């Protein structure tokens, strides 16, 4: 994998930016860009999200094309590769902007194969494309603590480094187009299992007579520690499942992970169990809660659950 960048924005190189998708992650990135002095125009299919961007100091657009026209770069923060394709090539899409943007930075966790196809379609129109997935919740991204894993041309990555430096302290070029999407899925596999293991460990400690909060503080000092404990442990203990990253969104990622593994001929036994647990949580109505709510499903599998 390529080199890592660890810089802070210095305000010296700002410009005209577009944003398509103003959800949790899109809003966090918008806040960073506006704080960094960028002129930001954004679009979302949900009108209230456009109004929220305006309240932050950005400008709302009526279409992806309007958000992209004359922009140096356009950031995409969407749910899936299908939605990305529509936002780019559909009616009023980014690729119908006039003039076209110089580059597209796609933060969507998408299908790596589709990502490669999308990059080729953008290149055919003379627009550079980076699949720039992010490790970290929307809260972490708002604090510039997310990590960008970027696939695509290294020269384009270097040319956009001021944007990445505004959005996060760390951005890593991981290879050609599709590599950012692949890296994000592999990272999410590990992160999701860490989250599930923490939930199961907390419930187990409680069931065998330990105080879960006291156990949690002990576990953080042992080799069981992972950074997931810092981010999701307090939410699990407090029962605060306000979404920073929705459970149903992670279920989509796990489905992609399992599908790609099957295509590669690789069995993922832990991820198969994880997917079943997430399916049960969604069926119980927890899909729009924070992904820390997986602990609710573990609790439901015990006495009185």
- Residue 211's domain spans which residues? 184-300
172 and 190 housed in the same domain: no
Among residues 145, 176, 207, which one ends one of the domains?
176
Write the DSSP assignment of 165-232 as a string of letters.
HHH-SEEEEEESTTHHHHHHHHHHHHHHHHHHHHHHHHHHHHHTT--HHHHHHHHTTSTT--HHHHHH
Please state the pTM of the whole predicted model. Answer: 0.87
- CA 154 to chain CA centroid, nearest Å: 21
| Closest C-alpha among 260, 219, 212 to residue 237 | 212
Domain at 172, CATH number? 3.40.50.720
Count structural domains, the chain.
2
Judge whether 57 and 34 are in contact, CB under 8 Å: yes
Per-residue pLDDT of the chain in tens (305 residues, 90 and over written 9): 444 333 333 333 358 999 999 999 999 999 999 999 999 999 999 999 999 999 999 999 999 999 999 999 999 999 999 999 999 999 999 999 999 999 999 999 999 999 999 999 999 999 999 999 999 888 999 999 999 999 999 999 999 999 999 999 999 999 999 999 999 999 999 999 999 999 999 999 999 999 999 999 999 999 999 999 999 999 999 999 999 889 999 999 999 999 999 999 999 999 999 999 999 999 999 999 999 999 999 999 988 76
| Residue 148: inside a domain | yes
43 and 137 in a single domain? The answer is: yes
Domain annotation covers residue 305: no
Structure confidence at residue 3 (pLDDT): 42
The answer to whether residues 105 and 160 touch, using CB atoms and an 8 Å cutoff, is yes
């Amino acid at each position: 994998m390529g080199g890592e960048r660890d810089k802070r924005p210095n305000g010296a190189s700002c410009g005209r930016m577009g944003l398509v998708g103003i959800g949790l992650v899109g809003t966090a990135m918008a806040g960073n860009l506006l704080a960094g002095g960028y002129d930001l125009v954004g679009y979302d299919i949900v009108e209230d999200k456009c109004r929220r961007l305006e309240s932050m100091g950005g400008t709302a657009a009526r279409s992806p094309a309007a958000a992209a026209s004359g922009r140096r770069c356009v950031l995409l923060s969407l749910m899936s590769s299908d939605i990305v394709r529509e936002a780019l090539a559909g009616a009023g899409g980014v690729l119908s902007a006039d003039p076209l943007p110089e580059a597209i930075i796609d933060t969507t966790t998408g299908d790596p194969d589709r990502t490669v196809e999308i990059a080729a379609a953008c290149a055919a129109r003379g627009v550079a494309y980076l699949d720039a997935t992010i490790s970290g919740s929307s809260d972490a991204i708002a604090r510039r603590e997310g990590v960008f894993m970027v696939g695509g041309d290294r020269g384009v990555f270097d040319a956009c480094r001021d944007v990445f430096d505004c959005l996060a302290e760390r951005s890593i070029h991981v290879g050609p187009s599709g590599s950012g999407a692949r890296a994000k899925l592999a990272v999410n596999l590990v992160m999701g299992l860490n989250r599930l293991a923490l939930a199961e460990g907390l419930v187990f400690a409680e069931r065998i007579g330990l105080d879960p909060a006291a156990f949690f503080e002990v576990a953080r000092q042992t080799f069981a520690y992972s950074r997931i404990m810092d981010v999701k442990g307090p939410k699990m203990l407090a029962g605060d499942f306000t979404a920073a990253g929705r459970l149903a969104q992670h279920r989509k990622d796990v489905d992609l992970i399992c599908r790609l593994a099957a295509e590669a001929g690789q069995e993922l036994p832990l991820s198969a169990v994880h997917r079943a647990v997430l399916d049960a949580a969604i069926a119980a109505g927890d899909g729009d809660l924070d992904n820390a709510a997986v602990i609710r499903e573990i609790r439901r599998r015990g006495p009185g659950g």
